[in-house]
């Protein structure tokens, strides 16, 4: 069965603090894809990153970084030096090789306090 767990429902940090959003997934497939999306108050989900199961390299994009560990089935997302504009709900998602269906976690609501 496929499942994505984001145990942190809500997180509040003070501006400029670093914050890590956790994501744990379950799948029986050996080929799969992991995603992170950001949903600001406007409602539209914004794509942040896509990673396939064969690429365990960590990735950094500006203040964002992602840590993919197959051994623990985790794909965590870190925001460095958080800003108020980072306040949003963040979703982790899994897609298997067959089909284009995405399984989303329940999201983590991040509030960055100025």
Partner 1 sequence: KAGVTQTPRYLIKTRGQQVTLSCSPISGHRSVSWYQQTPGQGLQFLFEYFSETQRNKGNFPGRFSGRQFSNSRSEMNVSTLELGDSALYLCASSLASATNEKLFFGSGTQLSVL
Q: Which residues of this protein are in contact with partner 1, per CB under 8 A?
A: 33, 35, 37, 42-47, 50, 52, 91, 93, 95-107
Q: How far is the CB of 87 from partner 1 (least distance, A)?
A: 18
**Partner residues linked to 34 by β-bridges:** 51, 94
Q: Which two tokens stand for residue 22?
A: 């956790």
Nearer to partner 1, 73 or 104 (CB): 104
Calculate the dihedral angle through the C-alpha atoms of 62, 26, 73, 33, rounding to the nearest 10 degrees: -40
User: Which of 68/91 has CB closer to partner 1?
Assistant: 91
CA distance 42 to 33: 26
Minimal distance, residue 45 CB to partner 1, in Å: 4
Are the CB atoms for 6 and 92 separated by under 8 Å? Answer: yes
Beta carbon nearer to partner 1, 100 or 114:
100
Q: Taking the complex as a whole, how short is the minimal distance between the CB of residue 37 and partner 1, in angstroms?
A: 8
């Amino acid at each position: 069965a496929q499942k994505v767990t984001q145990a942190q429902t809500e997180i509040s940090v003070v501006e400029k603090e670093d914050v890590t959003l956790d994501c744990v997934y379950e799948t029986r497939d050996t080929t799969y894809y992991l995603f992170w999306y950001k949903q600001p108050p406007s409602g539209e989900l914004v794509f942040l990153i896509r990673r396939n199961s064969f690429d365990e390299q960590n990735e950094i994009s500006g203040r964002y970084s992602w840590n993919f560990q197959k051994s623990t089935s985790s794909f965590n997302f870190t925001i460095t030096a958080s800003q108020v504009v980072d306040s949003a709900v963040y979703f982790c998602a899994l897609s298997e090789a067959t089909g284009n269906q995405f399984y989303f976690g329940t999201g983590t609501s991040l509030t960055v306090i100025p």
